[in-house]
């Protein structure tokens, strides 16, 4: 790299700021100069803003007018590879660079001088009297050879109260010091003994580690049924990265999953890794961000945005449950963390492991095409076997109106209760009932701001809009015809199903798991742990339960409506149903008892339902791939979703129509435009929404064409345009 790496005081530098400007700004390097990539504070009008030194200044104006960088922040400069990565993500997702920089600096107070706090180390004196608790504290300090702890960390590690530590401080056996708040993370030891791997697992580990040692970029699809030991396998790849002195990142789709995983990391490596997710406090986030940049966090476990942390030497990214839709960010920067993980690793010579029992068709196709290596774990660990899967044909079941648990399913649940095993009833709908209907006039209660029905939440005693979150009390009279006492719930949600289960199985203990029923991630975690320990006969859950939780006593999964997601307009409807049903079914029979999954369906002959039941995954994917290939849709063609929105529908449509007419840049790459059409949810938060869809052949430069297509647009008033490359949802 021949670019200038250092700028002397007074030299002109170009600074990328987090402010919404379409270019870098020139400033004079401050006293002492600055490095390329340095995080700086610069004046912008009357304000001070965060920026990064992006290169030499552009000049071309009166140098006497140039202002100076105010100061260089005390954090590691942004590495070249990170600048490259941000630039490529910006190009891929059509995102302005300032928004990329905001994504990469999402930790408050980055530039603040380090604040101080108390830390604790091994002292010189012997305590006057030894107790078990004191011995444990000193052992922890000795074990970690000179490392310092916060009071809370030390007390937790040793399993003692903080007063025990304080007592040792008085005696001089433990030293208390002031230290900057952002401490390095405890070292993880990859050479602690791991579990004894099965033959399959050991083979997979050997292949992964050989790839890592090559030092080149590579992506592996690690496919294995739930419970086959994928986590055990990728932990060994993490170990290898640590041995090589490189950093590792494990992405999980759901915060509630991190607790279990952190415990496994601690058991394997002797300490806890850094955590990055929305549940972390601001100080924790800042500590992670800084320590990652200094190479003093070896392993980060986190949500998708952890991909934008300033790793010093990222050797491995694991994307667990890689098919999960939560890896796609759908507001702000529209990016897929799975795809961008591959991009980042290809820039920094790292490895990617995509782990799933039910991979996305995208990853499956990349493995077929030889772009990704593929490793399969085919059997469950130990005695656990895959659940038997059977349909319950709802056309022949005797159902009472307003009930959803069929006699066959009821009988299966009863059996489990008698055997003191757990059952899971799965329904992918939050709330009590999806529709509240007036039996007098037929009105369905809708949100005032969105084109969406309000969902009754009995738990909250309110109606809620799942689009904008607006709630209102349940009315007594119909808002449309004014008739009283005729409002009725239609269809089941998780709360209504729980009500039915309580009435049907009065002797059973029932637990509900739905993301909206818990005030905090912590409360949810606690509930999951309780259930795992067996404190429920029947678990009633939404999508949340499909995501990798381990419930050893669970031997029956009943899917209330297997047809529910089959008929979406979404091109991935079949794939999603297949993944979800197999994931949910995989919750049964994880320990020593065999499991069973029963799918209530009105269409047992539907090809997707048949594929789910038969477990012929390769067959399903081949058929799905052929269908998409024929239609020229992803992953065999490219797509971009455009959403225009504004307070008035007319002007929004006018722009959409103008875009559809002036599609020369798209035609130039053989792309087609569909729309404008009202979006499936035509109004959200009072804004009218209009969609266009761009379809292009695989390999076409779709971003470039779209950039040229939208460049001449002048959006007036409050009209907004968003571009979603490789859209996952089409609402
Ligand atoms: P997956 O990630 O594929 O769902 P896990 O890695 O969570 O599977 O493994 C399922 C369960 O089996 C876990 O409790 C795990 O600790 C255990 N397990 C898997 N492989 C081994 C092994 N080789 N030795 C001991 N326990 C194992
Ligand atoms: Zn709403």
DSSP-assigned letter for residue 44: E
Position 399 scores a pLDDT of 93
- Residue-wise pLDDT for 411-469, tens only, equals 999 999 999 999 999 998 888 998 899 999 988 998 888 888 889 988 778 898 888 78
Q: What is the mean pLDDT of the chain?
A: 89
Return left, alpha or beta for 341; rule: phi > 0 is left, psi -120 to 50 is alpha, else beta. Answer: alpha
Cis ω before 635 (30° cut-off from 0): yes
User: Is 153 close to ligand 1, i.e. is its CB under 6 Å away?
Assistant: no
CA–CA dist 483, 476 (Å, integer):
9
How far apart CA 111 and CA 522 sit, in angstroms, is 30
pLDDT of residue 145: 60
Per-residue pLDDT band at 27 (split at 50, 70, 90):
very high
- Flag whether pLDDT at 1 surpasses 60: no
Ligand of minimum distance to the alpha carbon of 686: 2
Please check the confidence at residue 137 and state whether its pLDDT lies above 60: yes
User: Between 121 and 209, whose confidence is greater?
Assistant: 209
226 CA → ligand 1 middle, Å: 9
Give 510-513's long-range contacts (Cβ < 8 A, gap of 24+): 510/536, 510/537, 510/538, 510/539, 510/540, 511/535, 511/536, 511/538, 511/539, 511/540, 512/539, 512/540, 512/541, 513/539, 513/540, 513/541, 513/542, 513/544, 513/545
Distance 357 CA to ligand 1 centre (A): 13
**More confidently predicted of 255 and 390:** 390
Lowest mean pLDDT among 124-133, 256-265, 492-501, 511-520: 511-520
Is residue 546 within 8 A of residue 585, CB to CB? The reply is no
CA angle, corner 338, sides to 333 and 342, nearest 5?
A: 105
- High-pLDDT (> 70) share of the chain, %: 95
Domain ranges of the chain: 3-103, 116-180, 199-280+297-377, 388-429+492-624, 432-491, 638-725
Fold of the CATH domain 638-725 = Alpha-Beta Plaits (3.30.70)
Confidence band for 79, pLDDT divided at 50, 70 and 90: very high
* 388-397 average pLDDT score: 93
Atom of ligand 1 nearest to the CA of 232: 6
- Lowest-confidence pick of 125-134, 301-310, 512-521: 512-521
Residue 589 predicted with pLDDT over 80? no
Strand order in the sheet with 71-72: 25-28, 12-17, 47-56, 39-44, 71-72
Q: How confident is the model at residue 183 (pLDDT cuts 50, 70, 90)?
A: confident
**Residue pair 311/249 in contact by the 8 Å Cβ criterion:** yes
Cβ of 197 closer than 6 Å to ligand 1, yes or no, is yes
Counting residues of the chain whose pLDDT is more than 90, the rounded percentage is 55
- For the CA of 379, the nearest ligand: 1
Query: In this model, does residue 2 exceed pLDDT 60?
Result: no
The conformation of residue 113, written as its DSSP 8-state character, comes to: P
CATH topology of domain 199-280+297-377: Rossmann fold (3.40.50)
Q: What pLDDT sits at residue 282?
A: 72
- Residue 299, strand partner residues: 248
**Any residues with CB less than 8 A from the CB of 199 and at least 6 apart, and which?**
none
Predicted pLDDT at 398: 93
Residue 565 has pLDDT above 80, yes or no: no
Tens-digit pLDDT profile for residues 628-643: 888 888 999 999 999 9
The alpha carbon of 245 and the centre of ligand 1 are apart by a number of angstroms equal to: 26
551 lines ligand 1 (CB under 6 A): no
- Whether the upstream peptide bond of residue 676 has omega within 30° of 0, thus cis, is yes
Instruction: Quote the CA–CA distance of 338 and 336 in Å, as a whole number.
Output: 5
- Please write the tens of the pLDDT for every residue from 502-543: 999 999 999 988 777 766 666 777 788 888 888 899 999 887
Pocket test for ligand 1, best of 202, 205, 222, 232 (most atoms within 8 A of CB): 232
Span between the terminal Cα atoms of the chain, in Å? 45
Which ligand has the shortest distance to the CA of 681?
2
- Convert 470-502 to b/e letters by CB count within 10 Å (16 or more is b): beeebeeebeeeeeeeebebebbbbbbbbebbe
The reply to whether ligand 1 has any atom less than 6 angstroms from the CB of 232 is: yes
* pLDDT attached to residue 572: 84
For residue 359, pLDDT over 50 is answered with yes
**Ligand lying nearest the CA atom of residue 202:** 1
Domain 388-429+492-624 of CATH type 3.40.50.2300: no
Going from the Cα of 493 to the center of ligand 1, the distance in angstroms, rounded, reads 33
- Ligand 1 within 6 A of 657 CB? no
| Closest protein CA for atom 5 of ligand 1 | 229
- Three-class SS string for 117-182? EEEEEECCCCCCCCCHHHHHHHHHHHHCCCCCECHHHHHHHHCCCHHHHHHHHHHCCEEEEEEECC
Cα of 402 vs centre of ligand 2, distance in Å, is 27
Give the lowest-confidence range in 139-153, 182-196, 685-699: 139-153
Q: Please state the rounded mean pLDDT for residues 333-344.
A: 96
Q: What distance in Å separates the CA atoms of residue 553 and residue 531, rounded to the nearest whole number?
A: 9
User: Mean per-residue pLDDT for 62-75?
Assistant: 88
Q: Indicate whether residue 366 lines ligand 1 (CB < 6 A).
A: no
- The architecture in CATH of the region 116-180 reads Orthogonal Bundle (1.10)
**CATH code, 3-103:** 3.40.1440.60
DSSP 673-718: EEEEEEEEEEEETTEEEEEEEEEEETT--HHHHHHHHHTT----TT
How many angstroms separate the alpha carbon of residue 452 from the centre of ligand 2? 6
Grouping H, G, I as helix, E, B as strand and the rest as coil, residue 400 is coil
- Distance from the alpha carbon of residue 584 to the mean position of ligand 2, in angstroms: 29
**Could you tell me if the CB of 293 is within 6 A of ligand 1?**
no
Same fold, 199-280+297-377 and 388-429+492-624: yes
- pLDDT tens readout for residues 677-709: 888 888 898 999 999 999 999 999 999 999 999
pLDDT at 114 over 70: no
CA of 470 to the centre of ligand 2 (A): 5
Distance (angstroms) between ligand 2 centre and the Cα of 263 equals 39
Asked if 511 and 535 count as a contact pair (C-beta separation under 8 A), the reply is yes
Other beta carbons within 10 angstroms of residue 695's beta carbon come to 20
Q: Quick one: which ligand is closest to 466's CA?
A: 2
229 CB within 6 A, ligand 1:
yes
Q: Considering only CA atoms, which of 344, 210, 226, 360 is closest in space to residue 352?
A: 344
Question: How far is 16 from 25, CA to CA, in rounded Å?
Answer: 7
> What are the pLDDT digits (tens) for 443-456?
899 888 888 888 99
User: Which pLDDT belongs to residue 3?
Assistant: 62
């Amino acid at each position: 790299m021949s670019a200038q790496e250092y700028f002397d005081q007074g030299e002109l530098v170009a600074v990328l700021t987090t402010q919404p400007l379409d270019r870098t700004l020139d400033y004079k390097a401050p006293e002492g100069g600055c490095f390329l990539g340095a995080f700086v504070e610069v004046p912008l009008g009357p304000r001070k803003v965060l920026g990064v030194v992006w290169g030499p200044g552009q000049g071309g104006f009166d140098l006497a007018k140039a202002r100076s960088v105010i100061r260089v922040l005390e954090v590691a400069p942004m590495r070249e590879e990170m600048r490259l990565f941000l630039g490529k993500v910006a190009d891929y997702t059509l995102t302005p660079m300032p928004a990329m920089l905001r994504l990469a600096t999402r930790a408050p107070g980055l530039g603040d001088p380090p604040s101080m706090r108390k830390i604790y180390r091994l002292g010189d004196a012997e305590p006057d009297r030894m107790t078990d608790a004191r011995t444990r504290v000193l052992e922890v300090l000795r074990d970690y050879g000179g490392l310092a702890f916060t009071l809370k960390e030390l007390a937790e590690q040793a399993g003692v109260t903080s007063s025990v530590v304080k007592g040792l401080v008085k005696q001089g056996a433990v030293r208390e010091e002031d230290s900057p708040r952002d401490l390095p993370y405890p070292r993880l030891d990859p050479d602690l003994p791991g579990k004894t791997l099965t033959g399959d697992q050991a083979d997979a580990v050997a292949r992964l580690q050989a790839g890592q040692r090559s030092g080149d970029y590579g992506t592996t699809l690690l496919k294995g049924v739930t419970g086959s030991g994928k986590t055990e396998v990728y932990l060994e790849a993490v170990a290898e990265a640590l041995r090589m002195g490189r950093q590792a990142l494990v992405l999980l789709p759901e915060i509630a999953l991190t607790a279990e995983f952190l415990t496994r990391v601690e058991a394997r490596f002797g300490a806890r890794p850094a955590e990055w997710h929305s549940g972390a406090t601001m100080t924790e986030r800042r500590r992670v961000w800084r320590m990652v940049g200094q190479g003093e966090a070896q392993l980060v476990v986190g949500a998708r945005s952890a991909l934008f942390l300033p790793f010093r030497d990222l050797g491995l990214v694991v994307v667990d449950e890689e098919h999960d839709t939560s890896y796609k960010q759908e507001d702000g920067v529209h990016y897929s963390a799975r795809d961008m993980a591959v991009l980042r690793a290809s820039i920094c010579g790292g490895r990617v492991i995509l782990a799933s029992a039910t991979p996305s068709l995208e990853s499956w196709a990349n493995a077929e095409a030889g772009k990704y290596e593929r490793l399969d774990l085919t059997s469950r660990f130990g005695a656990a076997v895959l659940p038997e899967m059977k349909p319950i044909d709802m056309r022949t079941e005797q159902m009472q109106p307003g009930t959803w648990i069929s006699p066959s399913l009821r009988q299966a649940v009863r059996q489990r209760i008698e055997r003191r095993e757990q059952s899971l009833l799965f329904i992918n709908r939050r709330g009590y009932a999806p529709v509240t209907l007036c039996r007098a006039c037929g009105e369905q209660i809708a949100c005032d701001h969105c084109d969406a029905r309000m969902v009754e939440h009995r738990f909250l005693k309110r109606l809620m809009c799942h689009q904008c979150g607006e709630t209102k009390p349940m009315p007594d009279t119909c808002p449309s015809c004014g008739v009283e006492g005729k409002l009725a719930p239609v269809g089941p949600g998780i709360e209504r199903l729980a009500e039915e289960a309580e009435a049907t199985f009065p002797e059973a203990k029932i637990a509900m798991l739905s993301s909206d029923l818990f005030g905090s991630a912590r409360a949810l975690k606690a509930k999951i742990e309780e259930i795992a320990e067996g404190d429920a006969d029947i678990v009633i859950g939404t999508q949340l339960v499909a995501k990798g939780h381990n419930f050893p006593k669970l031997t029956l999964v009943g899917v209330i409506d297997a047809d529910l997601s089959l008929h979406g307009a979404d091109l991935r409807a079949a794939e999603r149903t297949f993944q979800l049903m197999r994931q949910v079914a995989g919750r049964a029979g994880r320990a020593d008892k065999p499991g069973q999954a029963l799918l209530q369906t009105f269409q047992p002959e539907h090809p997707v339902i048949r594929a789910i039941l038969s477990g012929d995954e390769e067959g399903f994917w081949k058929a799905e791939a052929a269908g998409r290939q024929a239609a020229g849709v992803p992953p065999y063609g490219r797509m971009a979703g455009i959403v225009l929105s504004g307070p008035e529908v007319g002007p929004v449509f006018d722009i959409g129509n103008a875009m559809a007419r002036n599609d020369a840049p798209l035609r130039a790459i053989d792309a087609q435009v569909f729309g404008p059409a009202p979006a499936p949810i035509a109004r959200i938060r009072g804004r009218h929404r209009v969609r266009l869809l761009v379809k292009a052949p695989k390999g076409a430069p779709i971003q470039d064409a779209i950039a040229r297509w939208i460049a001449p647009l002048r959006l007036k008033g409050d009209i907004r345009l968003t571009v979603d490359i490789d859209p996952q949802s089409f609402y």
